[in-house]
Amino acid sequence: MTLFLVRRLAGFAVTLLVAAAVIFFLLDLLPGNAARFILGMNASPEAVARLHAQLGLDAPAHERFFGWIGGMLSGDFGMSYTQNAPVAQLIAERLAVTLPLTVLAMVLSMAIGLPLGILAARRRGKPTDTGIMLLAQAGIAVPNFWFGMLLTLVFAVGLRWLPTGGFTPWNEDPAAAARGLILPGLALALPQASILARVMRTALIDVQGQDFIRTARAKGMTMGEAVWRHGVRNALLPVLTILGLQFAFLIAGTIIVENVFYLPGLGRLIFTAISERDLILVRGAVIVLIIGVTLTMLLVDLAYGLVDPRLSQGAGR
Amino acid sequence: MTHWRLHPSLWLGLGAGLFFALLALVSLVWTPFPIEEINIGRRFQGPGPVHWLGTDHLGRDMTSLIMAGTFTSFLVSALAVAIGAGIGVPLGLLAASWGGVPEWLVLRFSDFLFAFPAIIVAILITALFGPGAINAVLAIGIFNIPVFARVARGGALSFKTLDFIAAARLAGMGNGEIAFRHLLPNIMSLVIVQGTIQLSLGILAEAGLSYVGLGTQPPATSLGLMLRDAQGVFLIHPWLSVLPGLSIVAIVIALNLAGDGLRDAIDPRLRAESGTYGAA
């Protein structure tokens, strides 16, 4: 188990380091003179020189790279020169919207998708199954941000139950803040729930044919009990893999859906940074996103090891 | 070949997919109105005899925009599939036939690429070079590479142990020759199925990227860009958002049905949950 843990953690660290190197190469080395790139062609030489010094561009590339990594390890992501604030602080403020939204979407998608998948598998071939699978087929095809627009039309404009967009900060009115996340959360959850329902159904149907279900039935359990006590737990393995992948895409989807609801999350920070050519801010936000994605994959790997001890005892992959 | 007839969803999917593809191709030579023809006087018209699907906020003809937008969406997604398959399949074959260090490297490389969802790549490219449809192609294409590498490797591994490969080796063929002359033709059906699925995911991803301004730029149009244009007015004129959105849903469902149907028709054993990788 220790070896498994060490290997996974090492893999995580290497992935992050390589990703950081790629980002550094793209955003720091490729533009040539970053200060001129940022200020544009018409900037005065003095302004360029000032920014050049401010960005610490006089130091050689490897020093800047390791300086950046070292800074991040101690929580210093650099200064945003368009917003005149530490990048870490800007990102932390935005994560207060993006992170709860992502987690809410994840919870909603599981709460919707898994029971529907189980139901479809139990009613395999019946109208219920067909209906759920048709819904899932449609759900997968719906762009989440467009679904968000439709939800706004129905629940915010038509029924007036929820706000059309915008966000009240948590410390002002937590209830209003949470209400502002419901529609975007649902918009993000729908495609994920469809995928989860399909995977759960397939996994459960596979498991139902296994010997241990037959043994449980022979011991006197009803099919429902056997599936619930033994089947679902085994079927969760493939579901877990998909969940890990899906969380990564949820983070990406959040960036897009924030736009529909005018939420002040990480996505809007990034788009502003791009249009203002704030490469330091883009760099910080992108590495935070990649940390999120990689960390999720690591957690799924570790959870996999816990759920299925065969994996952590063997040589891994 | 009789089992091909048993898949109505395959035919439905292929039929609908081809219909949209045809619509897209026709837009190259003919649209009811030129897509860049702006006429503020006739904006926000509902569907009618002149403008079949109405007009948008600039008075452009929606039918023409949908046709041209479908073309861009298909094109971006198809190019991304070409990049993904063009790089991913050789990598997967390399991993399967050589094994050892090359295989390890390919697997780590594809794990690594999975940490870069298309939107992150698009953000990086756009920060450097500004927005454009090429960004979307590259971003989605890069994301497709590991997907195809895994499919190709998995498929190739299952054929590698068969007798005809051993026979080829006895005949003196090297790894590369075996990979491309024997393994590649055998995994082609898998690659085509995955290609159909990635094509549909690519259309969704293109829509997302264009919607946030990282993809297709005006005066060109795509289904995602139409949704971006409609964003400001969608509470008052929902039709402008509903129409391109429904087109995306229809195309994606068609391609998914075709992909699932192809997979079942080619090899019923593969009825599994593959292809559930998102792309945006």
Say yes or no to pLDDT of B272 above 60: no
3-state helix, strand, coil in chain A (%, to 5): 80, 0, 20
Residue B52: its pLDDT value, please? Answer: 75
To 10 degrees, what angle do helices A2-24 and A61-73 make? 130
Residue A245: its pLDDT value, please? Answer: 76
Say yes or no to pLDDT of B224 above 70: yes
pLDDT along chain A (317 residues), means of 10: 83 90 83 72 78 75 85 85 86 90 92 92 88 90 91 83 78 82 92 90 84 84 81 79 80 87 89 85 90 86 75 52
Number of CB pairs < 8 Å for A and B?
140
Q: B-chain residues within 8 Å CB-CB of A251?
A: 117
Residue A313: its pLDDT value, please? Answer: 61
Best B212, B248, B249 member to test A by mutation, with max A CBs in 10 Å, is B212
Q: Can you point out the beta strands (E) in chain A?
A: 79-80, 85-86
Cα(B232)–Cα(B187) distance, integer angstroms: 47
> Which residue type sits at A156?
A
What are the φ and ψ backbone dihedral angles of A79, each rounded to 5 degrees? -105, 135
- Digit-coded pLDDT (tens) for B27-70: 888 888 887 777 777 777 878 787 778 888 777 888 888 998 99
Token pair for B157: 């591994």
Residue B277: its pLDDT value, please? Answer: 43
Residue B247: its pLDDT value, please? Answer: 94
Name which of B241, B273, B280 is nearest A199 (Cβ-Cβ).
B273
- Digit-coded pLDDT (tens) for A175-214: 888 888 889 999 999 988 999 999 889 888 888 778 888 8
Say yes or no to pLDDT of B280 above 50: no
ipTM value: 0.85
Measure in Å the smallest separation between the Cα of B39 and chain A Cα atoms.
26
- Digit-coded pLDDT (tens) for A100-128: 999 999 999 999 999 999 999 888 888 98
> Which residue type sits at A220?
G
Residue A1: its pLDDT value, please? Answer: 67
Could B204 and A143 be called an inter-chain contact, meaning their C-beta atoms sit closer than 8 Å?
A: yes
Could B249 and A199 be called an inter-chain contact, meaning their C-beta atoms sit closer than 8 Å?
A: no
Instruction: Grade residue B85 by pLDDT with cuts at 50, 70 and 90.
Output: very high
Could A252 and B256 be called an inter-chain contact, meaning their C-beta atoms sit closer than 8 Å?
A: no
Say yes or no to pLDDT of B3 above 70: no
Say yes or no to pLDDT of B4 above 70: no
Q: Across chain B, what does the average pLDDT equal?
A: 85
Name which of A141, A256, A290 is nearest B256 (Cβ-Cβ).
A141
Summary count for chain B: helices (H), strands (E):
10, 0
Chain B residues bordering chain A (beta-carbon distance below 8 Å): 107, 111-112, 114-120, 123-124, 126-128, 200, 204, 207-208, 211-213, 224, 227, 231, 234-235, 238, 241-242, 245, 248-250, 252-253, 256-257, 272-273, 276-280
Measure in Å the smallest separation between the Cα of A151 and chain B Cα atoms.
11
To 10 degrees, what angle do helices A232-260 and B118-129 make? 30
Say yes or no to pLDDT of B270 above 80: no
Averaged pLDDT for residues B64-92: 94
Nearest to B149 by CA among B84, B83, B210, B198: B84
Measure in Å the smallest separation between the Cα of B84 and chain A Cα atoms.
18
